[in-house]
Amino acid sequence: MGTTASKLGKDLLSEYQELAFLTKQEILLAHKRFTELLSKEDKALPNPRVPMESILTLPELKCNPFRERICHVFSNSDMKDGSLTFEDFLDLLSAFSDSATLEIKSHYAFRIFDFDDDGTLDGGDLEKLVNYLTGDTDDTRLTAREMKELIHNILDEADIDKDGTVNLSEFQHVISRSPDFVSSFKIVL
C-alpha cells in the first residue's frame, strides 16, 4: 500500500478510508501535513519516511509527554528510529481519532505505556508512566515511598491474576471502567 508524496489516487484514498477511522477530508489533510514535513529529496521517493524529529514539531504532539513513545509505537522502521511513513502516520491519527474504538485506543495506549516493549506493564513501566505524567523534576517527582505506594495501589487494582504485572486484557478491563479515557486519547489535526 505504498504512496508517494504526490496527490493520493482515488483508489488509494478509498482503501485508506476503509482501513482507518478517518474521513476522506481527514486523510487528505493528513497527507498534506505529512507532505509538508518531507524534505525536497524525500518527496521524490516512492514511500518516504519523515524523521521523528520532524513529526515532533507538529503542535498536536509537541506538548504530549509521550510524543517519542508514540512515534516509536507507530513506526514500522527497521531502524527503530521513530520515523514514519504516510501509512504509519495515518495509523497514528486513526488510533487517536474520535471514531476509533475503545479497544483500538486502549491497545495503543498500552503499547505506548509499555516502555520496555515486553507485553506487560511492570513496576518499571508504571514508574516511568507516573514520571511522564507528573514531570520528572525535583518539584514534581514523587518520593520513593510515594511511588512504591502508588505502584502497589495500581497493581492491586489492575493486576487481576496477581502476577505483579498488568497485561493488555487487564489494562483494557481497567480502561473500560474509565469513561473519560476515550475522549482524552485523541489527536486532532
* CA distances, 37 to each of 17, 51, 94, 145 (Å): 22, 9, 19, 44
Return the pLDDT at 29: 96
The CATH number given to 10-95 is: 1.10.238.10
pLDDT above 90 for 127: yes
Task: Share the mean pLDDT of the chain.
Answer: 93
Rg (CA), the chain: 18
CATH superfamily, domain 102-184, is: EF-hand (1.10.238.10)
The residues spanned by each domain of the chain are: 10-95, 102-184
Cβ-based burial of 26 (10 A; exposed 0-12, middle 13-18, buried ≥19): buried
Confidence of residue 181 (pLDDT cuts 50, 70, 90): confident
Alpha-carbon distance of 124 to 117, in angstroms, equals 12
Predicted confidence (pLDDT) at residue 60 exceeds the cutoff of 80 = yes
